[in-house]
Amino acid sequence: MSDEWVIGIIGGSGLYAIEALEDEQWIAVQSTWGEPSDEILCGRIGHVQVRFMPRHGRGHRVLPGRLNARANIDALKRAGCTDILAISAVGSLSEDLPPGSFVLVDQFIDNTKGRPSTFFDNGFVAHVAMGDPVCERLTELTAAAVAQAGGEPHRGATYLAMEGPQFSTRAESKLYRQWGAQVIGMTGMPEAKLAREAELPYALLAMVTDWDSWRDGEAAVDVGAILAQMAANGDLARRAVEELIRSLPPRRESSPIDRALDFAVITAPEQRDRGLMTKLDAVAGRLFAQDRG
């Protein structure tokens, strides 16, 4: 494996392009998993190659529950990404995280309903570890970049992924607090699971836009409040992404996540489904290359 960084950025609500990219070009990447949300904006910042995917597509066309996260992750891998930084707007479930906070997520609770959440299936069964769902190295580099951009990064938070698209009821919002979640959004899962299955180190920078709906006596969250806060957060988010890319060490050391599938696949070689393996050529092709010797 090469020691060059190719950073994938998944831009969430409010982040639909990266202005600082040089030699940039929108490129359609075909995935074996269907249609990605959009083309990928490919370019570089300094010596680092960057691949940017607007999670909901340009113009925010795709509903969170209809996102083809498999195609998005697969397309980023096909575009050469070595690592992914995802950016998301979130509601706060914690008194300590007021709107405007920048949070490095380190845990997830997946409460989404019925979204395709794995690349694997009958004929190619694999179980990746998700105990530590984000890449510590990329998370730490991102926290440093937020600080360098003038923000105050908050390290460590549990992200509750809800189905949406409606926001939570007050009762749900209070329940998620009892579950131990500190922020809430609609997209971090299954994205983080799929990145792990694709052996892509993944970090999630969450921008708090609202208090969700758990505070008695206060208005429940609505999109108007979120958009206003997003506009206020946007500049810092953009600067942090640029700082991150400029601050990457010249050479990328390998990560254990680059080999997340090493001991994960348990289907016997002679029982494997060739059709599924063809679809998995980008996600798990490294293993098949080994099989061929």
Ligand X SMILES: CSC[C@H]1O[C@H](OP(=O)(O)O)[C@H](O)[C@@H]1O
Ligand Y SMILES: Nc1ncnc2[nH]cnc12
- State the minimum distance, in angstroms, from the CB of residue 249 to ligand Y: 32
Q: Which of 104, 141, 135 is nearest to 244 (CA)?
A: 141
- Residue 278 and residue 268: Cα distance in Å, rounded? 17
When binding is defined by CB under 6 A, the residue of 191, 197, 199, 210 that contacts ligand Y is: 210
Q: Cα(72)–Cα(55) distance, rounded to whole angstroms?
A: 8
Instruction: State the helix-helix crossing angle for 136-148 and 223-247, rounded to 10 degrees.
Output: 100
Is 186 annotated as ligand-binding? Answer: yes
Q: Is 13 annotated as a binding residue?
A: yes
Amino acid sitting at position 85: L
CA 249 to CA 16: how far, in whole Å?
26
Nearest-CB residue for ligand X: 12
Cβ neighbourhood burial of 169 (10 Å; 0-12, 13-18, 19+): exposed
Phi, psi at 232, each rounded to 5°: -70, -30
Candidates 49, 68, 88, 92: give the one binding ligand X (CB under 6 A).
88
Asked whether residue 147 is marked as a ligand-binding residue, the answer is no
Is 210 considered catalytic here? Answer: yes
Is residue 291 flagged as an active site residue?
A: no
Phi and psi at 193, nearest 5°, equal: -65, -45
Binding mask 84-123 for ligand Y (x = CB under 6 A): -----xxx--------------------------------
- Give the Cβ contact number of residue 105 at 10 Å: 27
Distance from C-alpha of 133 to C-alpha of 122, rounded to nearest angstrom: 24
In 3D, which of 194, 198, 82 has the Cα closest to residue 141?
Answer: 82
151-190 positions binding ligand Y, by CB under 6 A: 162, 167, 184-186
The item of ligand Y, ligand X, none sharing an interface with residue 187, based on CB under 5 to 8 Å by kind, is ligand X
The annotation status of 88 as a binding-site residue, yes or no, is yes
Residue nearest ligand Y (C-beta atom): 91
What the block records as the tokens of 259 is 């080999």
Catalytic residue among 74, 212, 216, 258: 212
Q: Least distance in Å: CB of 215 to ligand X?
A: 18
Residues in region 217-236 near ligand X by CB under 6 A: 223, 226
Binding site for ligand Y (CB under 6 A): 89-91, 162, 167, 184-186, 209-210, 212, 221, 226
Task: List, as residue ranges, the binding site for phosphate.
Answer: 13, 55-56, 88-89, 187
Task: List, as residue ranges, the binding site for substrate.
Answer: 186, 210-212
Binding site for ligand X (CB under 6 A): 12-13, 55-56, 64, 88-89, 185-187, 223, 226
